[in-house]
Chain A
Amino acid sequence: MSKLKKLTQYRLFLPLLCLALVLLVNLITTPDFFAISVRDGMLYGYIIDVINRASELVILAVGMTLMVAASGGTDISVGAVMAVAAAVVCNVLSGGQQSVNEYSNPYLLGILAGIAVAALCGCFNGFLVAKLKIQPMIATLILFTAGRGIAQLITRGQITYVRVDQYKVLGSSIKGLPLPVPFFMAMLVVIICVLILKRTALGLCIESVGINAKSSRLVGLNSSRIIFLTYLFGGILAGIAGLVASSRIYSADANNIGLNMELDAILSVALGGNSLGGGKFSLMGSVIGAYTIQALTTTLYAMHVSSDQVPVYKAIVVVIIVSLQSPQLKKGISKYMPGKKAVSRNEVA
C-alpha cells in the first residue's frame, strides 16, 4: 500500500495519469491512434499530429507556468499577443501589402519586429502587475480585449499573406527532420528554459517570490523585478508561438491566431500539477499537460465536435481539475469517508 502511496506522491504522477487517460480514450475512439508510418524519413500518424499541433501550446504553457508561479495570477492575453506578433511579422515581411510572393523586408527583421512587439506587450503586463501591483487577471484583461483590435489595425482588417516558401519553414516539415519543425521549436524553448531555470538561481527565485514575496524581499530578492521578468518572458514566448502559428498558415489572421489558447495554456499548467496560486512549479508537468490538452482536443475532433464547441469540454475539464485541487473539496469528501475522524472544525484562520 505504501508503495502505491509513494507513487502518487511523485510530482509528475497526476499529469502523467491524465495524459495516459486521454491517450486511452483516444485509442478507443480511434483504434489506429498510435499507428506511425514512415515516408521519406518523416513520421506520420495521429499521434504525430498531436505532437505537432501541441507545439504552440507547449511554448505558451512554459511562459504561463512561470507567470503563475511568480505572481499567482494568470495571463489571459497570450492568445491576443500571438495575434499581434503574427500581424507585425507578416506586415513587416509584406511591407504593408495584403499579399506578397516575396519578402519586402528581410526575414530576420520581420521576426525580430514581431518578437519585439510581443516583448513590449509582456512589459506592459509586467509593469501593471509588478510595479502597480494590479491583479494579473485584470491587468492582462486589457490586452486580452485590445490586443486583437490592435492586430486588426495592423493588418487593416484583412488577412495578410506571406506566400514565401522560406516563411513556411517554421510551421511545416523539412527534409531531414523526422518530425515537423514546430515540435523542435517547442523542444528548443523547453530546453532553453530548463537550462536557464536550473543553471541559474532563477527557478529558486521565482518559487520563493511566488510563495512569500515579503520574505523574499528581506533575503535580498527583488520580487518586483522577478515578476516583471516572468511577464516579459511570457510575452516573448507568446510572440514565438504566434510566429510558429503564423508560419503554418503563411499568414496573419488577427481573428483566429491564438484563439482560445489562453484557456488551454492555463489548463496545461493546472493539469501539470501546478498550483494556480503560485509558488513551487514543475515545467515538465506543464509540458505534459499541454500534450494532454492537445490529445483531448484531437479526441473531440475525432468525435465530430466542431471547433466552436470544443471549449465546452475543456471548460468542464478545467473545473474538474481545479475542484480537485481545492482543499475545501478534500475536506468535504473526507467527512463522508468512513473510518476517518472528522477534521477539527477550524473556521477561524
Chain B
Amino acid sequence: MSTKPNKTKRKIDGNSFLLLITIVLFFVMYIGGMIIFSDQGFGKVQNFLNLFISNAGLIVIAAGMTVVMITGGIDISVGSVVALTCMLLAWLTEVKGIGAVPATILVLVMGVVFGLVQGFLVAYLNIQPFIVTLAGMFFARGMTAIVSTDMISITNETFLSWAKFKIYFPFGGYVNRKGVMIYPYIYPSVVIALIVLVFVFIMLRYTKFGRSIYAVGGNEQSALMMGLNVRRTKLKAYVLSSTLCGLGGFLFCLNTCAGFVEQAKGLEMDAIASAVIGGTLLTGGVGNVFGSLFGVLIKGTIEAFITFQGTLSSWWTRITIAALLCFFIVMQSVFSAMKEKNKH
C-alpha cells in the first residue's frame, strides 16, 4: 500500500506576493517620478545611478541585516557602527596620521570584533538580540563621541582620491546646454556594494553556512537536533553584519569624507525597513538580499521625490519609510495568521 501524496494545503504564498508588491511598487514609483518630475531631469540615467551612489553603504548594510534577520534576530547597532567607522577613519588618518589603507583595514577589523562581542552575547549567553544590539548601538554612538565630539574632516590624499574617482559609462549620456556630452557615472562604492550583494546571495544559497542561517531561522530547536551548530551560526551572522557595517561605513565615509557624532542616525531603521519591504520575515527563516536591494531602492526613490519636490522637510522621508514598514509588518502578520488558520 503506497502513501498517497498529501493534498498540499491551499497555501497563499503571502511572502512571495509581498515581494512582488515591492518590486512593482518600486517600478511604479520610479516611473511615476519620471512623469511627475520629467522637466527636472528625473528621467536621466544619472538619476537612476544616483540611487545606487547615495545608497551604496546602505545596500551593504541591508545585506548584513537581512542575514541577521533570517536567523530570527535583529541588529539595531548598524547606524552607530557606521558613525564609529567614519569617525575612526577620520581620526586615524587625520589625527594619528595613519595611511588610508591601514586605516581602512583597522576599521574593518573593528567591525569584526564588534560583531564577535554582539554575536557572543546573543548566541552563547542567549540574551535577546534586541537588547544586545540596543546596547551596542549606544556603545558605538558613545564611542564615536569619545573619539571626538567635534567633526573631523578627512584630508588624506589617498582617501580623497578614492572618493573622487568616477567610473564613466560609455553610453546613455546627454548633451548639456554648453554642448558638451555628459556621460553617466558611478563610483567604485557602487561596484563594491553590488559585489557584496552577489557574494552574500551566493553564500546564502550555496554554502553550508548560508543554509544553516535559514535552518536556524526556521526552527532553532530542529536545527539543533539535526546537528547544526546553532550558536556558531548565530555568532557568524552577527560578525557578518557588523563587518558589513564596517565596510558600509567605509563606503559612507567615501561620500562624506568626514566623521561626526550625528552621522547615520536612524540608519538602522532604513536597513530594517529595506529588509522587511524586501520580503524578509521578522519572525525569521525567510529572506532574500535582492529583495532588500529593492527595499533600498524604494527608500532612495522616496528620498529623490522629497528632494525634487523641494518644499517638504526631510523628516517626511523617515515618516514615509516608517509608514511603509508599518504596512509591510502588518501584512506579514496578516499572512502568517492566515497560514495558521489554513493549517487546521
Assess A/B contact in the complex (Cβ within 8 A).
yes
A349 surroundings in chain B (CB, below 8 A): 221
Q: Across the two chains, which residue of chain A brings its CB closest to B117?
A: A319
Q: B224–A347 contact, CB under 8 A? A: yes
Instruction: Assess whether A139 is in contact with B329, with CB atoms less than 8 Å apart.
Output: yes
B196 at the interface (CB under 8 A from A): no
What is the interface residue range for chain A against chain B? 35 or more
Q: A319-B132, A322-B131 are in contact. Are A312 and B146 (CB under 8 A)?
A: yes
Q: Which residues of B contact A312 (CB under 8 A)?
A: 138-139, 142-143, 146
Residue of B nearest to A147 (CB): B322
Residues in chain A near residue B261, CB distance under 8 A: 308
Determine the chain A residues whose CB is within 8 A of the CB of B136 once the complex forms. Answer: 315
Interface-forming stretch among A128-136, A216-224, A236-244? A128-136
- Asked if A293 lies at the interface with its beta carbon under 8 angstroms from chain B, I say no
Bound Cα distance from A306 to B269, whole angstroms: 26
* B142 → chain A closest CB, angstroms: 3
Residues of B within 8 A of A327 (CB): 126
Tell me if A315 and B145 are in contact (CB < 8 A): no
A32 to B325, CA, bound (A): 51
How near does chain A come to B127, taking the closest CB pair, in angstroms? Answer: 5
User: With an 8 A cutoff between CB atoms, is A276 at the interface?
Assistant: yes
Q: Which of B135, B145, B319, B323 contacts A319 (CB 8 A)?
A: B135
Given A146-B318, A322-B131, A323-B125, 15 more contacts at CB 8 Å? A74-B131, A128-B326, A132-B330, A134-B329, A138-B74, A146-B319, A149-B322, A263-B135, A309-B142, A309-B145, A312-B142, A312-B143, A313-B142, A326-B126, A326-B127
User: Contacts A142-B326, A153-B313, A308-B142: A315 and B135 contacting too (C-beta < 8 A)?
Assistant: yes
Contact with A along B264-275 (1 / 0, CB 8 A): 001001001000
Which chain A residue shows the least CB distance to B138?
Answer: A311
CA distance A319 to B136 in the complex (A): 9
**Size category, B interface:** 35 or more
Q: Are B131 and A328 closer than 8 Å at their CB atoms?
A: no
Q: Residue of B at shortest CB range from A135?
A: B282
Question: Nearest CB to that of B262 among chain A residues?
Answer: A308
Given known A139-B329, A316-B139, contact A326–B125 (CB-CB < 8 A): yes
Q: Is the CB of B126 within 8 A of A328?
A: yes
Cα A348 to Cα B128 with chains together (Å): 20
Q: Once bound together, how far apart are the Cα atoms of A276 and B134, in whole Å?
A: 14
| Nearest residue, chain A, Cβ from B224 | A347
Complex CA gap A141/B145 in Å reads: 24
| Residues of B with C-beta under 8 A to A157 | 313
Q: How far is the CB of A145 from chain B (nearest CB, A)?
A: 4
Q: Are A322 and B225 in contact (CB-based, < 8 A)?
A: no
A280 interface contact, C-beta 8 A? no
Residues of B within 8 A of A318 (CB): 131, 134-135, 138
Is B130 at the interface (CB under 8 A from chain A)?
yes
Question: Which of A153, A260, A306, A323 is the one whose CB lies under 8 Å from B127?
Answer: A323
Inter-chain CA distance A276–B333, complex, in Å, is 23
A residues whose Cβ falls under 8 Å from a Cβ of B? 74, 76, 128, 132-135, 137-139, 141-146, 149-150, 152-153, 157, 260, 263, 266, 276-277, 306, 308-316, 318-319, 322-323, 326-329, 347-349
- The answer to whether A311 and B139 touch (CB under 8 A), given A76-B134, A134-B329, A141-B269, is yes
Q: Which residue of B lies closest to A324 (CB)?
A: B125
Report the minimal beta-carbon distance from B312 to chain A, rounded to whole angstroms.
Answer: 10
Tell me if B315 counts as interface (CB < 8 A to partner A).
yes
Question: 1/0 per residue B328-341: CB within 8 Å of A?
Answer: 01100110010000
In the complex, which residue of chain B has the Cβ closest to the Cβ of A349? B221
Contacts of A326 in B (CB 8 A): 125-127
Q: Which residues of A contact B299 (CB under 8 A)?
A: none
Which residues on the A side are within 8 Å of B74 (C-beta)? 137-138
CB neighbours of A276 from chain B (8 A): 128, 131
Question: Is the beta-carbon distance between A266 and B131 smaller than 8 angstroms?
Answer: yes
Q: Are B138 and A315 in touch, CB under 8 angstroms?
A: yes
Which A-chain residue is minimally distant from B283 (CB atoms)? A135
Does B329 contact A149, Cβ atoms closer than 8 Å?
Answer: no
Question: Is B141 interfacial (CB 8 A cutoff)?
Answer: yes
Which residues 275-296 of B have a CB within 8 angstroms of A?
282
The reply to whether the CB of B124 lies closer than 8 angstroms to some CB of chain A is: yes
Leading 4 A-B pairs by shortest Cβ distance: A312-B142, A308-B145, A311-B138, A146-B322
B45 close to chain A: CB less than 8 A = no
Complex Cα spacing A22 to B224, Å = 41
Given known A306-B149, A311-B142, contact A138–B135 (CB-CB < 8 A): no
Quick one: given A145-B269, A152-B315, are A134 and B145 in contact (CB under 8 Å)? no
Contacts of B221 in A (CB 8 A): 349
B128 with A133: CB separation less than 8 A: no
Task: Please judge, given known A-B contacts A134-B282, A327-B126, whether A308 and B149 are in contact too, CB under 8 Å.
Answer: yes
Could you tell me the distance in whole angstroms from the C-beta of B58 to the nearest C-beta in chain A?
Answer: 15
State the CA gap A135–B131 with chains docked (Å).
13
- A150 vs B322: C-alpha distance when bound (angstroms): 11
A325, closest chain B residue (CB): B127
Report A318 CB to chain B, min CB distance, Å.
5
**Interchain CB contact under 8 A, A328 and B125:** yes
- 26 A-B pairs in the complex with CB atoms less than 8 angstroms apart: A74-B131, A132-B333, A137-B74, A138-B282, A138-B329, A141-B269, A141-B272, A142-B326, A143-B322, A144-B269, A146-B323, A149-B319, A149-B322, A150-B319, A263-B135, A276-B131, A309-B142, A311-B139, A311-B142, A312-B143, A319-B121, A319-B132, A319-B135, A322-B128, A322-B131, A326-B126
CB pair A145–B266 under 8 Å, yes or no, is yes
